Each structure stands twice: as structure tokens, then as C-alpha cells.
């Protein structure tokens, strides 16, 4: 029990004013009960007596406990607020999966205001021991978004209380992407089993234009044009959750020209679809250019699996032949290196940059910026580096 005083100095007059208030410790709730500010100390003492009497008479109102917002509640509000088109559908769904798999059981029931930077650092350190840097970084991204959202607009914590401040992302090892040469791409596209595949026109499109799998799957029946030249319109995508999507960036919306043989191949697929629809009106009810044998749109995962299955089977057959023939391959055959379906895109960028190093032109066909093309898709190799250095050395000799 005590009388506290508080002084205030006016900036305008320089006069200091002292005011008083009662402060009584309430042990039952482990808190202090304070009285109003008074100009005179004796008035504050009277307040102190009144507070003590109220405590002894059991007339003090219990302090209402402030409800704490949990991490799960923040996530639910944030995830609803960032639904497509705010985030791309695939990103939005992946964030939910990562939260449920790696974050929910650890922090879901905790009050956001009770989570400290030490909790975050310990969590990240433990994750590093059993998960890849890419997985850890994805979790860090989600947690950073959640706590930023808790600061504003939710105002559950202040910016100074954000426990993600100072938490650094993991360094992801740089892995050289495997690409195919022009000859390897041509060889694969001319394999009999590939030509006979239902996905053959899609493989050709990915290989010849470096298109993203989701873009190929999302092409419409009206994507082809023959005036003023043969062209294809990339205007939407299709994802693994069976959702039509907007393309990645505004640069992804494009109409590159295509060779006539590719136009004819895609036109043939369109005719096949229309023919099946005429025979059975219930067979297909969508406007996608590429559909399965049952008339359903093709998801990128299905497309990727088909490519993987054909490539893996070919590599296995070549290895078996080598083992049976002292390391020799059949005449005209080659042993392809394993690449993912996305490897067509990287190969397109690399091969064309080697032939015609115009990043702006190539990126306009691929649907990304020149900076992205150079940073993520083109692969420098020893032969290209050697050619550059040799040419420079020869130039120096000529000058001297």
C-alpha cells in the first residue's frame, strides 16, 4: 500500500505539476488496484482507505481476463484473406499444407503474443536437422507472413514484438540443372513410343517453345491462329488442384509464332476432340485443347508423370542393352540423361542462348523477364565458357 506521485512539466510554461494516486496491492489476483489522479496527497490517501475497505468487503470486481489470439486463429484469418487471386492457387494451397504439416502441431494452440524470438530460433534449428533448406525456408516464409499479419491489420502484437525479426533463411545449395541438347530433344521426340503417346503434341509444345507445364495444360480450343502467321495464345493455366489459373506474370500472357508442322499437330488434336464430342455429347464438357482419353482436362502432375514414365523406360532399356552387349548401344540410339518435364524449359533457354544470345527475344517467347531467364534458366557449361575465352584470346592476338 502506498501513495504514488507523478510529475509533469509543461513545455509551454516550464511549470512542474505533481499529482497523486493510491496504489494498493491485491494479492488475490496478484495485481495492483490504483485510484484516480488527485491534486492533493490527502485526497489520494482517502482513496487508499476506500480501496482497502472495498477489498476487505469483497466488493472489488474481478479483472476480466484478456483473451489471447492463437496462431491457428491468425492462420485461418490470414489464409482466407490471401485466397486467390491474392495468391496463386498453387501457392495458397501449398502454404496451407506446409502449415498443417510442419507448424500447426508446434504453435497452433499458442497465443501469438506469447511466442518469442527464442521459440522461433529453436524451431528453425530443429527443422534444419531433419528437413531440407527449401522446406525450412517455406516454413519461415509462412511464419513471417503470419506474424506480419498479426502486427497489422490484426494488431495482436506490435512490430517490436514480432518474433520473426532477425530469423534468417537457410542457404539453399545451388544445383546445376541438367539440360538436353538439340540432338537429344530431337531424338526423344522421334522415339516411336513417344510419338505414339497421347501426350506427344504436348511434349512437342514444351520442347519447341519452352512453355511451363501448367501453361500447356491450360491451353484453350481457341488458342491457335493462322493469321497473319501461325501463332498460339498462352492466356491461362491449369493446376494440380483442377483449377483454371491466371498465368504467373503479365509477361506470361503471350502469342509466339509457331512452325507450321507444330500448328498442324495441334490442329489435329483439336479435330480429334471435336470428333469425339460429336459422337458422344457427354464425353467432354470443357474448352481445353488437351484432354485425356476420357475427355477430362490434364493436370500438370499427370503430364509430368507421363513424361517421366516414358523417359525412365527408355533409360532402363538402354542400360539393359548396354549390360548385355559390353557397353554398346544399338546403332542410332543414345542414352539420355534424366531430366524433369520442366527440363524442356531450361533446355530451350540454354540452347537458344547459345545459338542466339538475345535474352529479351528468348524471354518474350518463354513468358518471363530477361533477368529471370538469365538467373534461373540458362546454364553456362564448360564448352560455352571455353569458346568465349578462346574467342577473347584470339581477339587479343589479332590486336597485338
Residues 145 and 191 reside in one and the same domain:
no
Is residue 170 in some structural domain? no
End residue of a domain, out of 161, 190, 214 = 161
State residue 325 phi and psi, 5-degree precision. Answer: -130, 40
Cβ-count burial of 95 within 10 angstroms (0-12 exposed, 13-18 middle, 19+ buried)? buried
Residues 118 and 262 reside in one and the same domain:
no
Residues 199 and 247 reside in one and the same domain:
yes
Q: Are the C-beta atoms of 209 and 184 separated by less than 8 Å? A: no
Residues 75 and 109 reside in one and the same domain:
yes
Is residue 392 in some structural domain? no
Residues 81 and 204 reside in one and the same domain:
no
Q: Map residue 134 onto helix, strand or coil.
A: helix
Is residue 47 in some structural domain? yes
Residues 102 and 250 reside in one and the same domain:
no
End residue of a domain, out of 339, 371, 391 = 339
Q: Are the C-beta atoms of 210 and 366 separated by less than 8 Å? A: yes
Pairing of strands 231-232, 224-225: antiparallel
**CATH number of 255's domain:** 1.10.443.10
Q: What is the Cα–Cα distance from 288 to 246, expressed in whole angstroms?
A: 15
Residues 297 and 201 reside in one and the same domain:
yes
Q: Map residue 3 onto helix, strand or coil.
A: strand
Say how far residue 345 (Cα) sits from the centre of its chain. 18
Cβ-count burial of 150 within 10 angstroms (0-12 exposed, 13-18 middle, 19+ buried)? buried
Q: Is 387 left (phi over 0), alpha (psi -120 to 50) or beta?
A: alpha
Residues 123 and 192 reside in one and the same domain:
no
For 282-304, b/e burial (b = at least 16 CB within 10 A) is eebeeebbbbeeebebbbbeebb
Residues 142 and 220 reside in one and the same domain:
no
Q: Which pLDDT belongs to residue 29? A: 76
- Please write the tens of the pLDDT for every residue from 83-114: 998 888 999 999 999 999 999 999 999 999 99
Is residue 155 in some structural domain? yes
Is residue 98 in some structural domain? yes
Q: Which three cell numbers stand for residue 270?
A: 483439336
**CATH number of 133's domain:** 1.10.150
Is residue 356 in some structural domain? no
> pLDDT tens digits for the chain (400 residues)?
688 887 777 656 778 888 888 888 888 877 788 888 888 888 988 988 888 888 888 887 766 556 789 999 999 999 999 999 888 899 999 999 999 999 999 999 999 999 999 999 999 999 999 999 999 999 999 999 999 999 999 999 999 999 999 999 999 887 778 899 999 999 999 999 999 999 999 999 999 999 999 999 999 999 999 988 999 999 999 999 999 998 877 889 999 999 999 999 999 999 999 999 999 988 999 999 999 999 999 999 999 999 999 999 999 999 999 999 999 999 999 999 999 999 999 999 999 988 888 999 999 999 998 888 888 777 656 566 666 677 766 665 555 4
DSSP letter string over 289-320?
A: S-B-TTSPBPPHHHHHHHHHHHHHHHHHHHHH
Q: How many domains does the chain have?
A: 3
Residues 48 and 192 reside in one and the same domain:
no
Q: What is the Cα–Cα distance from 376 to 238, expressed in whole angstroms?
A: 22
Q: Which pLDDT belongs to residue 21? A: 85
Residues 141 and 256 reside in one and the same domain:
no
Cis peptide, bond prior to residue 246, ω within 30 of zero: no
Q: Are the C-beta atoms of 119 and 84 separated by less than 8 Å? A: no
Is residue 173 in some structural domain? no
Cis peptide, bond prior to residue 85, ω within 30 of zero: yes
Helix ranges, the chain (H): 41-56, 71-81, 89-98, 104-107, 117-130, 133-151, 182-189, 192-195, 200-209, 213-217, 260-279, 300-324, 343-355, 359-366, 370-372, 382-399
Q: Which domain holds residue 333?
A: 182-339
End residue of a domain, out of 161, 195, 219 = 161
Residues 190 and 306 reside in one and the same domain:
yes
Non-local CB neighbours of 28 within 8 Å, separated by 6+ positions: none
Q: Which pLDDT belongs to residue 379? A: 65
Angle formed by the axes of helices 133-151 and 71-81, to 10°?
90
Is residue 315 in some structural domain? yes
**Can you list the pairs that 77-81 forms with residues at least 24 positions away whose Cβ atoms lie under 8 Å?**
77/149, 77/154, 78/145, 78/146, 78/149, 81/149
Q: Which pLDDT belongs to residue 307? A: 98
Separation in Å, CA 250 to CA 124, 234, 254, 369: 35, 11, 9, 10
Amino acid at each position: 500500500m502506498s501513495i504514488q506521485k507523478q510529475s509533469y512539466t509543461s513545455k509551454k510554461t516550464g511549470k512542474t505539476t505533481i499529482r497523486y494516486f493510491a496504489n494498493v496491492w491485491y494479492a488475490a489476483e496478484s495485481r495492483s488496484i490504483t485510484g484516480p489522479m488527485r491534486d492533493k496527497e490527502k485526497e489520494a490517501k482517502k482513496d487508499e482507505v476506500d480501496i482497502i475497505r472495498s477489498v476487505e468487503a469483497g466488493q472489488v470486481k474481478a479483472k476480466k481476463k484478456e483473451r489471447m489470439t492463437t496462431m491457428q486463429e491468425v492462420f485461418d484469418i490470414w489464409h482466407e484473406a490471401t485466397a486467390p487471386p491474392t495468391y496463386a492457387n498453387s501457392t495458397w494451397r501449398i502454404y496451407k499444407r506446409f502449415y498443417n504439416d510442419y507448424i500447426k502441431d508446434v504453435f497452433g494452440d499458442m497465443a501469438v503474443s506469447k511466442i518469442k524470438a527464442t521459440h522461433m530460433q529453436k524451431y528453425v534449428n530443429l527443422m534444419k536437422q531433419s528437413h531440407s533448406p527449401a522446406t525450412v525456408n517455406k516454413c519461415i516464409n509462412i511464419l513471417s507472413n503470419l506474424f506480419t499479419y498479426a502486427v497489422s491489420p490484426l494488431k495482436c502484437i506490435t512490430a517490436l514484438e514480432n518474433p520473426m525479426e532477425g530469423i534468417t533463411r537457410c542457404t539453399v545449395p545451388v544445383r546445376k540443372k541438367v539440360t538436353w541438347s538439340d540432338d537429344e530433344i530431337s531424338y526423344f521426340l522421334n522415339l516411336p513410343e513417344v510419338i505414339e503417346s497421347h501426350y506427344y503434341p504436348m511434349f512437342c509444345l514444351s520442347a519447341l517453345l519452352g512453355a511451363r507445364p501448367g501453361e500447356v495444360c491450360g491451353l484453350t480450343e481457341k488458342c491457335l491462329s493462322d493469321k497473319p502467321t501461325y501463332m498460339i495464345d498462352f492466356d491461362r493455366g491449369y493446376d494440380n488442384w483442377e483449377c483454371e489459373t491466371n498465368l504467373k506474370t503479365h509477361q506470361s500472357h503471350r502469342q509466339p509464332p509457331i512452325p507450321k508442322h507444330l500448328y498442324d499437330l495441334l490442329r489435329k488434336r483439336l479435330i480429334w476432340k471435336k470428333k469425339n464430342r460429336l459422337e458422344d455429347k457427354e464425353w467432354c464438357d470443357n474448352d481445353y485443347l488437351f484432354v485425356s482419353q476420357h475427355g477430362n482436362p490434364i493436370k500438370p502432375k499427370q503430364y509430368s508423370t507421363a513424361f517421366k514414365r516414358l523417359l525412365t523406360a527408355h533409360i532402363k532399356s538402354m542400360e539393359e542393352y548396354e549390360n548385355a552387349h559390353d557397353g554398346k548401344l544399338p546403332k542410332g540410339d543414345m542414352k539420355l540423361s534424366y531430366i524433369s518435364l520442366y527440363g524442356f524449359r531450361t533446355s530451350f533457354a540454354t540452347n537458344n542462348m547459345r545459338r542466339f544470345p538475345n535474352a529479351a527475344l528468348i524471354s518474350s517467347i518463354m513468358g518471363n523477364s530477361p533477368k529471370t531467364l538469365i538467373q534461373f534458366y540458362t546454364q553456362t557449361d564448360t564448352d560455352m565458357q571455353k569458346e568465349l575465352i578462346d574467342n577473347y584470346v584470339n581477339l587479343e592476338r589479332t590486336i597485338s
